[in-house]
Structure 1
Amino acid sequence: MNNLNDKTALLVMDLQKGIVSRYAEEEAVLLPFQKAIEAARQHDIPVIFVRVAFSKGYPEINPKNKMFSAISKSGGMTITESATQIHESVKPEPSELVVTKYRVSAFAGSNLEVILRSWQIDKLIISGISTSGVVLSTLREAADKDYDLTVLSDACLDADPEVHRVLTEKVFPRQANVLTVENWISGLE
């Protein structure tokens, strides 16, 4: 890591096969993610991939959890299944980490915070699917943990464009800088 960016990391969250297939019917919507990852790599900014997956038998899922309890009944989303692997369009380099989480926030049940502390990361560049899911939950928790935050608005996808707009234009700016990938990259130059 170089000195200029040694306290920054790019989080690429929930860009796993099973989620990308539901949100990105056209691969062109993944271009901003690809550009952000490439720029981070060129500027020696660590890229950390985050995925949601569960152990066989779903011991992490409480029946009261409205979002995840359906998964434990229908099956799928275990750590070894194809649906939980990072999408090939943003394939991690061998040296890049893939963190597994067990809830919506990237911090919930994962070792992300331990890794960030050990690497002395205090600035997070946030991207992911979905804006109203992992991005919102992670941003709120990271803000409470006093990270310096930037959200890449066009490297976030949501099933509801209006929800995405309200979050990126009205909610996120209260706790983070909100930039397009191009604007973020130009700030790195």
Structure 2
Amino acid sequence: MSKKALLVIDIQNDYFENGAWELVGAEEASLKARKVIDHFRANNLPIAHIQHFAVDGNIPFFHPGTQGAEIHENVKPLEGEKLIQKFYPNSFRETDLLEYLKANDVTEVVVTGMMSHMCVDATTRAAKDFGFDCTVISDACASKDQELDGKVVKAADVHTAFIAALTFFYATVKTADEFINA
């Protein structure tokens, strides 16, 4: 029997309106993540909230001790829920996430969070490599426009490309409603 845990990755204030690194659709994605969080809470399933801190001075967001680095009010952890602080895109790197999941007999991770093209992607791939089945909640993730060689790729296209790439081997992809109603 599969036991699920929810990962809520980096849904922090700097990614929202007036934040230091605003994403496209952050508010909407956070509300979808909240629906999934409520589902996990109602079913007494493990939730790991991931909070990223920038230690590299070249990164203009998530500076320790700032309001921008705080977890957004839409998805705040409750007392007793796991909070993991990280410094790299992969939520497993130099954290106790793997130990936490193993201690809770988790076999499947459900991934929500930000940014689709960075920490969501890196964490999902690592989770699969560690042997977990993965489900990504596509509408509970957000991204940002990207640029290469003077060409701008819109956030929606970045998000779609990264989430679509995960479907080949790394994850099943569902919307929040599809997941909750399954």
* Pairwise TM-score range, normalised by the shorter structure: 0.7 to 0.9
Corresponding letter in the other structure for 2:27? E
Summarize the alignment of residues 1-189 of structure 1 with structure 2, pairs less than 5 Å apart: 7-20=3-16, 21=19, 22-23=22-23, 27-53=27-53, 58=55, 68-71=56-59, 77-78=63-64, 80-159=65-144, 160-187=155-182
Tell me if structure 2 keeps the 8 A contact 1:47–1:96. Answer: yes
**Alignment partner of 2:127: what SS?**
helix
> Could you say what the CA RMSD is over the residues aligned between the two structures, in angstroms?
2.1
| Shift in Å, 1:116 | 1.1
Q: Which runs of 5+ in 2 are unaligned?
A: 145-154
CA distance in 1, matches of 2:39, 2:48: 14
Q: Are the structure 2 counterparts of residues 11 and 136 from structure 1 closer, same or farther at C-alpha, using a change threshold of 3 Å?
A: same
C-alpha distance in structure 2 between counterparts of 1:41 and 1:12, whole Å: 13
Aligned equivalents of 1:116, 1:158: Cα separation in 2 = 26
2:11–2:30 CA contact under 8 A, matched in 1: no
Structure 1: 5+ residue stretches without partners = 59-67
Moved over 4 A (4+): none
Q: Hey, what's the Cα distance between the residues in 1 that align with 2:108 and 2:26?
A: 31
Instruction: Give the Cα–Cα distance (whole angstroms) in 2 for the partners of residues 125 and 25 of structure 1.
Output: 20
- The one-letter code of the counterpart of 1:184 is F
Do the aligned partners of residues 27 and 110 (structure 1) sit closer, same or farther apart at CA in structure 2, a change above 3 Å counting? same
Determine the C-alpha separation between the residues in 2 that align with 1:128 and 1:41: 17
Identity of aligned residues (%): 26
TM-score, normalising length: structure 1: 0.80
- Note the C-alpha offset of 1:51: 0.9
TM-score, normalised via structure 2 length: 0.83
How many pairs are equivalent? 168
